[in-house]
Amino acid sequence: ACAGGCSTASVFEMAAEDEVAAEQPPAQAEVPTEPAVAENVSKGETAPPDPASKTITKQILSTCLTKGLAALCTEKPAEPVRWLAEWLLEHNPNVPQRKDPVNSKPIGAGASSITNSEISAISASRSGQVLGAASTLAQLDLSKGGNSTNSVNGVAEGATFFHQVAAYRVGSVGPCSSKGVATVIGDMIQLSQGNPKCVQWLSVRNEATVYLGGDPYAVRGGGAGSEDALKADCEAEIGERGGRIAVTDAKGRGKWLHVATGDALTPAEVVTGVRAPGGTPVRYHSFPTPPNGILTTETIDETLAILNTLDPQDPIIISTDLGDAAPSAMFGVIACMAVRVRAAGGKLPQDVLPKEPLPIVAKFAPPRELLEDVHEVASIINALGEEIGPQAKLLLDDTMDSAARNRFRNLRTGYLEEVKSGQDKVSRITLVQYLQLLTVAAILISPEEEKDQPHQAFADLMRGGV
């Protein structure tokens, strides 16, 4: 063992000398004469190596070391010394490669990559609560997107599709590394321009995710369940396989991931574990949302309950599978409307009320198509009442438009284009999303005793076959 500061090169020098010394006869033993040596060889025993053997052994081990260090640089494991030691033991050319019995060790042990057939075999053998049979752990792609609207510090490293709406202190982001999570939180705190009491992180991911070595990995091929259970499944597999777990990278290629003890974390642990500037606490909430982005009544009520408790300076971060997905934009619009209504004392903000232009000065009023000519939109506005209905519509459209150059505005543009393009399946889904946002706007500005009425109006409309 080499404890302390000896180099890997010196370890190999010592290993080479030890191997050669081990092959030499003991110093106390009588060295056999040439006839005796010949007799021993004829009996099948190994003759002592000639002087050149030591040099050859060193050259072989040196080549092995070079290959091992190259593999180390490629793999970049969490525990490099341990990983290199295991690799060298596995690839030592001077040790006979004994073929182990079938299933005596994990598939691919000692390798950094895994074939598709090996991945399939490993997945089929899994029996965890979330990481079960036929499940794979796929690394989320952190290389796409990244452009940040009105960002304080520019593009956030390790965070995809990071956008901010400065006026309302609302941000949205796609998959993040643990470093990206910290950067996004820091940017949002700086954006608040005050001393926020806390940061609210709302995850609307619809797939279970775990952080391994600082990067997010999502379960593919099933695996619905809690992220705490997924973490427990990963820790069990890491323990069984000697500090490694089978995953696929962002391009779908299988590999062994070396994970140190304690490096498997849930998203909640990563987010709440961030040391935010000024010691600001970070709170994590999870609202798994279906891929079509249509929210349940329970999700809407729970989200609004959280948003209604916020301090005016508290930033809100919406996290989703893909930063440009509809659920993230929907939650972002909801958060922006909630911030505006809360600042106005629970009523329709004054800055969205129609204003008559001065007689001489022309008021800038860009043309807006507000979807009133769509039958379902007109129906729910009428169902909400002649006062709340039009006001909710005004609040929703104005909030989307006020996020200029932001995808929240693009969301409404998409509704306009798709709804007016025909009656296909996509148009129906986007229309339902718009109607649901209109319902939330009505809930926000309705008196407390009437907040259930918008839910009822939406449910009645859905039963009518939207």
Q: Distance between CA 101 and CA 98 in Å, rounded?
A: 9
Give the residue among 143, 163, 139 at the shortest CA–CA distance from 151: 163
Say what the pTM is.
0.69
Looking at residue 52, its pLDDT comes to: 57
Integer Cα distance of 209 and 247 in angstroms = 13
Hey, what CATH class is 163-204+270-336 in? Answer: alpha beta
Tell me the helices (H) and strands (E) count for the chain, helix number first: 15, 11
State which H helix or E strand residue 345 sits in.
Answer: none
Q: What is the pLDDT of residues 383-394, one digit of tens each?
A: 999 899 999 998
pLDDT, tens digit, 9 for 90 and up, residues 111-120:
467 877 788 8
Q: Which two tokens stand for residue 74?
A: 């490629």
Q: What gap in Å lies between CA 464 and CA 466, rounded to an integer?
A: 6
Please tell me the predicted confidence (pLDDT) of residue 412: 67
Of 296, 293, 251, nearest in space to 411 by CA: 293
At residue 178, φ and ψ (nearest 5 deg) are: -65, -35
Give the tens place of pLDDT for each residue, 194-232: 778 899 999 988 888 999 999 999 998 766 678 999 999
pLDDT of 370? 55
Q: What six digits make up the tokens of 154?
A: 């520019």
228 bridge partner residues:
none
SS (H, E, C) 93-149: CCCCCCCCCCCCCCCCCCCCECCHHHHHHHHHHCCCCCCCCCCEEEECCCCCCCCCC
Query: In sequence order, what are the residues at sequence separation of 6 or more whose Cβ sits closer than 8 angstroms to the Cβ of residue 113?
Result: 253, 254, 255, 256
Cα–Cα distance between 82 and 53 in angstroms, integer? Answer: 29
Q: Are strands 215-220 and 136-139 parallel, antiparallel or unpaired?
A: antiparallel
Query: What pLDDT does residue 93 have?
Result: 59
Domain residue spans in the chain? 7-25+51-97, 116-140+209-265, 163-204+270-336, 347-463
Quote the CA–CA distance of 199 and 197 in Å, as a whole number: 7
Query: CB under 8 Å to 381, separation ≥6 — which residues?
Result: 372, 389, 390, 392, 393, 438
Predicted local confidence at residue 20, as pLDDT? 41
Q: Which helix (H) or strand (E) holds 264?
A: strand 264-265
Q: What is the mean pLDDT of each run of 10 residues along the chain (466 residues)?
A: 42 41 46 43 48 61 77 76 76 49 39 75 87 86 57 62 86 91 92 84 90 92 80 92 89 88 92 90 88 81 90 89 71 91 89 59 46 79 91 89 61 68 63 89 93 90 76
